[in-house]
Amino acid sequence: MSGLLEELGNKLYDGDAPGVAALTRRALEDGTLALVVLNQGLLPGMDRVGRDFRDGEIFIPEVIVAARAMHAGLELIKPLLAQSSAASARKIVLGTVQGDLHDIGKKLVGIMMQGAGFHVVDLGHDVTPERFLEAARRENPDIIGMSALLSTTMPVMKTTIEVLRHAGLDGKLRIMVGGAPVTRAWADEIGADGYAADAVTAVECARRLMQAR
């Protein structure tokens, strides 16, 4: 069965959505647990995509095609995963902060997070602190991720953290920040729990934050 799961990961890396769906279905029919298909087939394939994207060996179009292939497999195993409380996905709420309309990088982070097994709630761009707070209360996420491409909108990250802290939620979830002008020093200054320079390190950061809980 390990050979089939390895082939599944390779199909995902190649962006072969029909192939991923077929192998996922075959693995399930052969009695492989959905969680095993996820952890030993789909996630390793997407991890490889992330590493090669980080190293400049593949680019955004390839990542998007691989993500579509990932979703082809996820659609088949989601109903089975939902039946297992042990398999419940970590949830992350993403948004580009108020005043900033750039969200290509944030969308890529969302793709990589989904590929890593996170349930992603994307609030879009120009998200006010109040909308982040509403989403935190409504979705009960493990992580809130904020992005900014303009240095002028970075202070909204600080305001959002203050709003979450005032509502008593900052200790119940983790907060990540990122974007072109954002630095680790800024993340530390505003009290964020994590900082990521790109989509791949965002996944790595999110995993570390979850392990630390």
Element spanning 78, H or E: helix 60-82
How many domains, the chain? Answer: 2
pLDDT single digits (tens) 22-39: 999 999 999 999 989 988
Judgement on whether residues 81 and 101 belong to the same structural domain of the protein: no
- What's the domain range around 204? 89-211
Question: 190 with 100, same domain?
Answer: yes
Q: Are residues 52 and 124 in the same domain?
A: no
Phi, psi values for residue 193, rounded to 5°: -85, -20
Supply the CATH number for residue 24's domain. Answer: 1.10.1240.10
pLDDT at position 86 is: 45
Q: Judge whether 124 and 96 are in contact, CB under 8 Å.
A: yes
80 pairs with which residues across the strands? none
The CA-based diameter of the chain, rounded to the nearest angstrom, is 55
**pLDDT confidence tier of residue 2, bands split at 50, 70 and 90:** confident
DSSP reduced 3-state for 143: strand
Does 96 lie in the same domain as 80? no
Residue 204 belongs to domain with CATH number: 3.40.50.280
147-181 per-position pLDDT tens digit: 999 999 999 999 999 999 999 997 889 999 999 99
Backbone angles phi, psi at 177, to 5 degrees: -135, 155
Torsion of CA 198, 201, 206, 209, to 10 degrees: -130
Domain boundary among 17, 52, 86: 86
Of all residues in the chain, what percent are helix, strand and coil, respectively (each to 5)? 60, 10, 25
d(CA 187, CA 81): 34
* Residues 107 and 150 reside in one and the same domain: yes
